[in-house]
Amino acid sequence: MKRFENKTALVTGGGSGIGKSICSRLANEGAQVLIFDLDLKSAESVASEIQEAGRNASAYTCDVANHNGVNELVSEILSTTEIDILVNNAGIAHVGNLEDTSEADFDRLLSVNVKGVYNMLSAVLPAMKNRRSGVILNLASVASSVGIADRFAYSTTKGAVLTMTYSVAKDYIDYGIRCNCVAPGRVHTPFVDNYLNENYPDNQDEVFEKLSKSQPIGRMGTPDEIAALVAYLCSDEAAFVTGSNFPIDGGFVTLNN
């Protein structure tokens, strides 16, 4: 399929995990992909893989929490390129309840997961508004909708992403801009492997199986499965879809009771 031919998609956190799969999927379907990541080497590696496959991608180092930095970089890009699609994927995690969450932890998650989305929206959306066309896709989480143990700060930020999605969809529907979010359950990414290696070095397989079975479907999701849903929502096939949250969680939210 070439659903994104002649389209430009900006993906934050595109250097690894779910973001990497999103970049590859959109590029394979014809998009010019702009990969934003704090780790430039990772972004360049993903861009190189896409280019070697004959597709179009470029890498940029970007701290989404830096308001001025985001504005400067996006303004430079917009001077030569129209951004048709914005995927707010960049985010960080934290494990702990309220008492385990320091002020520094809380501020760090807010700055990336909430302010980072705000910064990207404020930089990209006005140009979409002027063109009266654009698609925004935010990465929320099952933690946006249900209580999950030891995810106080993370749940707080992802709840904000969900409601920002609703607000933007409502405020800009008359400008031809669609805004949706997806809410993944547990997805097998390098973050999961690193977490298990650091915290459960002696029983990684046992804990991995336990985490996998927390989804009623009996396994974790894959980054490519998330990317497939993102691609649909960013395409013209989803032209009638806006202001919606799409769980992709192996039944976690609705069947785990």
CATH assignment at residue 13:
3.40.50.720
Q: How many CB atoms sit inside 10 A of residue 98's CB?
A: 10
**150 and 199 both lie in a single domain:** no
**139 and 60 both lie in a single domain:** yes
The arithmetic mean of pLDDT across residues 43-51, rounded, is: 98
| Candidate from 14-18, 156-160, 206-210 with smallest mean pLDDT | 206-210
Band of the pLDDT at 1, cuts 50, 70, 90?
confident
From the list 60, 118, 154, 175, the catalytic residue is 154
**20 and 147 both lie in a single domain:** yes
- DSSP annotation of 215 reads S
Q: Is residue 143 part of a domain?
A: yes
Q: Is residue 172 part of a domain?
A: yes
Q: Is residue 251 part of a domain?
A: no
Give the pLDDT confidence of 215-233 residue by residue, as tens digits. Answer: 999 999 999 999 999 999 9
175 is catalytic: no
**105 and 208 both lie in a single domain:** no
171, 182, 56: which is closest to 125 by C-alpha?
171
Q: Is residue 257 part of a domain?
A: no
Q: Is residue 191 part of a domain?
A: yes
Band of the pLDDT at 67, cuts 50, 70, 90?
very high
The arithmetic mean of pLDDT across residues 117-139, rounded, is: 98
What does the pLDDT read at residue 199? Answer: 87
Residue 35's domain comprises 8-185+222-245
**86 and 126 both lie in a single domain:** yes
Q: Contact, 36 vs 90, CB < 8 A?
A: yes
Looking at the structure of the chain, the number of domains it has is 2
Cα separation, 168 vs 171, in Å, equals 5
The arithmetic mean of pLDDT across residues 235-250, rounded, is: 98
What does the pLDDT read at residue 138? Answer: 98
Band of the pLDDT at 180, cuts 50, 70, 90?
very high
**116 and 228 both lie in a single domain:** yes
**195 and 153 both lie in a single domain:** no
What does the pLDDT read at residue 257? Answer: 64
- DSSP annotation of 53 reads T
